[in-house]
Amino acid sequence: MKRLYFAPYVLLVLLYACAQLGIETPKTFNERVAYAHESVNGAVTTATNSLNAGAISSADAEYVRVSAVNTRTLIAAAEAAYGAGDINTAEGRLALAENILRQLQAYVKVKP
């Protein structure tokens, strides 16, 4: 059962390896949105598994969960702006969401 706790870490390593091997990253707005949604899910799963493994505190896991919910809202706002034809706003919101996700991943990764 403990092997399941390391599955998100393995996924992150695989994503990093794919990036190093030159496997294409999402480029279009819709691809980036889909990737952002999956990254939110991955951050929450990683935090949950880390909490269950005792690697992070419940406060840390709650911080990641709340941040993930807020990031989902930001992604939805980016999609709404894109749908309304406001590409600059959509790109800005999505870029902000992507940055928040990178910070969340780093936050969970550095916890002892």
CA–CA gap between residue 93 and residue 77 (Å, rounded): 7
Is 0.75 surpassed by the pTM of this model? no
Percent of the chain with pLDDT over 90: 45
pLDDT band at 1 (very low <50, low <70, confident <90, very high): very low
pLDDT band at 19 (very low <50, low <70, confident <90, very high): low
Distances (CA, A) of 19 to 25, 26, 50, 111: 7, 11, 24, 24
Residue 30 has a pLDDT of 92
Residue 79 has a pLDDT of 97
Residue 32 has a pLDDT of 93
How many folded domains does the chain comprise? Answer: 1
Q: Kindly tell me if the per-residue pLDDT of 16 is higher than 70.
A: no
**Residue 37 sits in which domain range?**
2-110
